Amino acid sequence: MDIFYTKDEIRNNPSIKNNMETHLVDKYRKQGPRFIIDVGSKLGLRYDTIATGVVYFHRFYMQYSFMDFDKYVLAACCLFLAGKVEETPKKIKDIIKVSKSILTEDEYSHFGEDPKDELMTLERILLQTIRFDFNVPHPYTYLLKYIKTLKALKPDMKEEEHNKLQKIVQMTWTFINDSLSTTLCLQWEPEIIAIALVHLAAKLIKVDLNQWFGFNKGFPSFNQDNWWAKFVVGLEPELLEDICHQVLDLYSSRSSKTSFTKSELIEIEQLRRKE
């Protein structure tokens, strides 16, 4: 059962109602997912397990305040649950060990005298909060599906075109990774997020997917205004642009961790300013 929120609902979250400053809420919303990614990567967990943990994290703080539950303890708990859900389980002691190696002494102190018991207790609260809704689809799956379908429309693709399409996939994948530090998963279905970020990557690669794949030209098998209409009907460009803006805003600070190269970040910043 997917539950989505409006921007106003997200802005008026329990932490804000608890008189927490907005900039701190935004900061914690980034720090928690980053911590899940760091711990998950060190433990060798798959990208989907990590992403599931992040979605649990974001959903939890739509019901509870950061002032009531520590972000790092909750993040570790989300990763522990996600590991079991995605059938890539990690022992709780290993998650605690890696968490301790990453956090400062003060940050780790919130795990209490018995970190294992702390996580086990919190897991029960987490389960109730997400209403035992374990199934979390992610944009990665839709990205691969969309690209596969688009490639089938152009079987005679030249090597240069193939390389550009691969670049779009790689860049979109990175955008999806980085989008975990936003609340997009609380706002929109993963298939819509995937379309928006393919759209963004294509802009950066300077590829017009509509023209490339024959949309707007009465293609034999369909006649759509935009390439994404083949996958999701009724998506307005303004909606996709809004999603793109939320991701682009992540790169306004170069301190943000990302796997983009320096030259790619410069291009992203140029596009952000144009938009």
Q: Residue 223 pLDDT > 60, yes or no?
A: no
Length of the chain: 275
Enumerate residues 6+ apart whose C-beta is below 8 A from 45: 79, 83, 88, 90
Fold of 139-274: Cyclin A; domain 1 (1.10.472)
Q: What does pTM read for this prediction? A: 0.90
CA angle, corner 71, sides to 11 and 136, nearest 5? 75
Choice among 165-179, 180-194, 248-262 with the minimum mean pLDDT: 248-262
pLDDT score at 177:
95
E strand or H helix at 68:
none
Average pLDDT of the chain?
89
* Predicted pLDDT of residue 266: 65
CATH topology of domain 7-129: Cyclin A; domain 1 (1.10.472)
Confidence (pLDDT) at 220: 43
Name the segment(s) of the chain with CATH classification 1.10.472.10.
7-129, 139-274
Q: Which residue has the higher pLDDT, 2 or 70?
A: 70
Q: What is the pLDDT of residue 219?
A: 45
Question: Which residues 6+ apart lie within 8 Å of 48 measured at CB?
Answer: 86, 138, 140
Q: How far apart are CA 214 and CA 220, in angstroms?
A: 9
Residues with Cβ within 8 Å of 223's Cβ and at least 6 positions away in sequence, in order, are none
pLDDT, tens digit, for every residue of 108-151? 999 999 999 999 999 999 999 998 988 899 999 999 999 999 88
Confidence of residue 230 (pLDDT cuts 50, 70, 90): confident
